[in-house]
Amino acid sequence: MFSSLATNRIAPGRRPGRSSILILSGIILISMLAVGCGGGDKNETSAEHQDNSAILATVGSTNITAAYYEDRLTQLEENELPRENGQWLPTNAEAGKERFLQVLINKELLTQKAIQMGYDKDTNIVEARKSMTEYEGGLAMWADVVGDVSRSISEEELQIFYEQMGTEYLCNYVICNFEDDALKAREVALSGADWEDVVNEFHDGTPAVTGKYEIKVPFGQYSSEFEDLVFATEKGGVSMPITTNYGFWIVRVIDITQNPKPSLEEAKGRVLDITQNRKSGRLRNDFKKLVRTKYEFQIDETALWTTFQGMPEGGLMDPATNEPYKRADLEPLDVRSEHLGDVLYSYRNGEGKLVEYSVSDYKSSFDNMGVFQRPKKGDMLGGFRQKLTDEVERGLLNIEAEDRGYFEKPAVMAKVKLKVEEAMVTRLYKEIVTIDDNITPEQLEEFWADHSTEYHVAESRVGHIVICQNRKKADNARKAIMDGKTWKEVLVKFGTDPTNKSKGGKTEPVYASSKSPVVEPLFSMEKGGVSQPFPVSDTQFAVIQLDQVILAHNYAMNEVSEAIGGRIRQARREEAFQVLLSQWNDEFGVEINSENLVPLKSWEELTAPDENLVPIN
C-alpha cells in the first residue's frame, strides 16, 4: 500500500518566529495538546506499540506507559519536538526523553486538576464530547467502508482507466429541476426532435452564452457520477438523467474523439491519483445511498419547489455599503400559510420512528441563517435539494455509526477522551494561570539588553520541489522542468507524495541550519537554478528549484517591541504556571521511573517512512 514520505522528513526546516524564540514549558504544553492527556492508564495507543507496557511515570492513580509515550511522540511534527532554551533536544538522548515525559506529566496534572474542578461536567465540554464522538466515530466508519479498499488499486483498474484516457465526448445538454421532466426530455430527444426544441421546452438552467447547448467531456476531468453515464452512452444516443448539484442533466452524444495520450509509464502517477479518488468517491456515494434507503429518507418534491419559490431574490452584498447583508436586513422565506404544514422531508430515526420536517420548520431555520448560510436561487433547485440532502445525511450517518457500534470502539473512545482532555486543559490553563499584563518601557529596555542578539534572522531560501518514486523518475522530472513544463504538470506526472503535491510543490523558508536534505541543493544554487536529483529517503529522489533568497536581517527593538512584550508575558505566565505545577505535583503525587526511558524509540525511528511507495496490489 502507498505510504507517502512524511512532509516534515523532507520539507524545509521551520525556524521559530521572533515571538517564540524563548519557548517555555507551559507554552510548550499548550502548543503540543495534540499529544493528548487525561485520567486512567496512559496506554491508549495504536496496535504496533501496545506490547510496550513499561511504566514511565505515575501521576496520582494514572500510569504513563512507554507505549503511550511513543504513540504521542509519533503524533508530533518536527517543529513541535522538545526544546530547552530554544534548542532542540534529540529524542534519542536522555535529555530529550525526559523533557517530553515531563510534558506528558504536566498535562496529566492539568487534566486531573480540571476534573477535580468539575470541568468535565461543564455543558460546553459535554456537548463537545458528543460532537467529537460523532466525528471520530464517523471517521472510523468511513475508514472501514472506504479506506483500505480505495487505496488499493489493481493493475486491471489501472488499465481500464488508462484505456479511456484521451477520450472526449461532445454532447448536447439540457438541465431540468425535476427528474420527471428530465425523463420526458429524454423521450422527446429520442424521438428525433431538434435539440433546440428540447431546450426550449425543458431547460431550467441559465441560457447558454453562445446559444449552443454543448459541452465537451474529456475523460477524467469530471466526477465519476457524471462521466459514468455520459461514457455509457453511444454516439447519437441520449443518456439517462444524471443527478448533479445543479439539477438533472440529459445529454446527447454528438461525437466521440480520441486525443493523443502519454504512455502508461508516464501517466501512471496521475492515473493512480484519479483512480484512487474515483474509487473512494464511488464507495462513499454507494454507502450514502445505502444509508438513505435504510432510514427511508425522502424529500417531497412539491414542498421542495414551494419552499424554493419562496426564497428571496438578491445577492450576498449590500450595494449601499459594499458589505455582506446583515442577518437583520435579510428577507424571510415567503411561503403561503396553507403550505407551512406541508412535509418537506422525512426519515426514520435510530429507533425506527418517523421524523417529519415541515416547510414551517425549514422557514424557522432559514429566517435565522446568515447570508452565506442560505441556499441561493441561482444554484437552481438542484443546489437546494443537495444542501438539504447533505444536512440530513450527516445526521443519518451519525445514527448509522452509532448503530454499528463505532461510538463505543476503544480507538474512537480513546481519541475522544484525548480531545476532551485537550479542551479542558486549554481552558484550565487560560483561566487559572493569570499574570500582570502591563509592561513598562524600562522592562522592554532591560529585556532588549539581554536578548537583542536573538533578533538576527539568518538568510533563508524558498523553492519548489517534486518528490519522485526513484532516481529515474526524478531525472525525467528535471528534464521536464528544464523543458519549461509547469510545476503542476511536473507534480501530476512525476510526483508520488500527496502532501508535497497538495502544496503545489512550494516549500517553506529553509535556513542553512535546517535539518533537511533540501538544504545542500538549495544553498548551492543561484536563484532560478534547478538541482540534480538528490535522495530524500532510501528509495525516493527529489528535484528542487530555488525561487527566492530572503536576506539576513537584524531587527531594531522598535520593530519587535510587540513580540518582546509577548515574550515577557510568556515568561511571567511560565513562572506562575511552574508554581501551580509544583503545588499540583505535591497534591496528586508524581513518581518517575527514569530507567524505563532508555529503550524508547526516537521520533526519527517512529516516523520513518514506509518503503512501499506505489499503491498497486
pLDDT band of 17, cuts 50, 70, 90: very low
pLDDT band of 53, cuts 50, 70, 90: confident
Q: Output the pLDDT for position 161.
A: 86
What does the mean pLDDT of the chain come to? 87
**Position with higher pLDDT, 49 vs 214:** 214
Q: Point out which residues pair with 169 in neighbouring strands.
A: 217, 256
Which residue's entry shows cell 435510530? 350
Q: How would you write 54-84 as a 3-class SS string?
A: CEEEEECCEEEEHHHHHHHHHCCCHHHCCEE
pLDDT band of 26, cuts 50, 70, 90: low
Least reliable range by pLDDT among 164-173, 240-249, 288-297, 373-382:
373-382
Residue 329 DSSP code = G
Instruction: Enter the CATH code of domain 167-260.
Output: 3.10.50.40
Q: Which of 455, 476, 548 is nearest to 510 (CA)?
A: 548
**Sheet strands (E) in 143-292:** 167-176, 214-218, 242-244, 247-258
Q: Is the dihedral of CA 203, 208, 213, 214 positive or negative?
A: negative
Q: Output the pLDDT for position 204.
A: 93
Q: Output the pLDDT for position 32.
A: 52
Q: Output the pLDDT for position 28.
A: 52
pLDDT tens-digit profile of 408-433?
Answer: 999 999 999 999 999 999 999 999 99
With 50 as the cut, is the pLDDT of residue 4 above it?
A: no
With 80 as the cut, is the pLDDT of residue 70 above it?
A: yes
Q: Output the pLDDT for position 46.
A: 44
Instruction: Note whether 167-260 and 459-551 share their fold.
Output: yes
With 80 as the cut, is the pLDDT of residue 51 above it?
A: no
pLDDT tens-digit profile of 235-251?
Answer: 999 999 999 888 999 99
pLDDT band of 305, cuts 50, 70, 90: very high
pLDDT tens-digit profile of 493-528?
Answer: 999 888 888 889 999 999 998 889 999 999 999 999
Q: Point out which residues pair with 468 in neighbouring strands.
A: 495, 541
Q: Output the pLDDT for position 29.
A: 56
For the segment(s) 459-551, the CATH number from 2.70.98.60, 3.10.50.40, 3.90.1170.30, 3.20.20.80 is 3.10.50.40
With 80 as the cut, is the pLDDT of residue 123 above it?
A: yes
pTM for the whole thing? 0.73
Average pLDDT over residues 394-421: 95
CA 421 to chain centroid:
22
CA 59 to chain centroid:
34
Residue 565 burial class via C-beta count within 10 angstroms: exposed 0-12, middle 13-18, buried 19 and up: middle
With 80 as the cut, is the pLDDT of residue 27 above it?
A: no
Q: Output the pLDDT for position 264.
A: 83
Structural domain boundaries in the chain = 7-131+410-453+560-606, 167-260, 293-403, 459-551
pLDDT tens-digit profile of 132-184?
Answer: 999 999 999 999 998 776 567 788 888 888 888 899 999 999 999 999 999 99
Architecture of domain 7-131+410-453+560-606 in this structure? Orthogonal Bundle (1.10)
pLDDT band of 44, cuts 50, 70, 90: low
With 60 as the cut, is the pLDDT of residue 303 above it?
A: yes
pLDDT tens-digit profile of 428-481?
Answer: 999 999 999 999 999 999 999 999 998 999 999 999 999 999 999 999 999 999
Q: For residue 511, what is the enclosing H or E element? A: strand 510-511
Question: What does residue 33 show for φ and ψ, rounded to 5 degrees?
Answer: -60, -25
pLDDT band of 200, cuts 50, 70, 90: very high
With 50 as the cut, is the pLDDT of residue 37 above it?
A: no
Q: Which amino acid is at 253?
A: V
Q: Find out whether 103 and 50 touch, Cβ atoms under 8 Å.
A: no
Q: Residue 394 is placed in which grid cell? A: 450527516
With 70 as the cut, is the pLDDT of residue 19 above it?
A: no
CA-based max dimension of the chain: 89
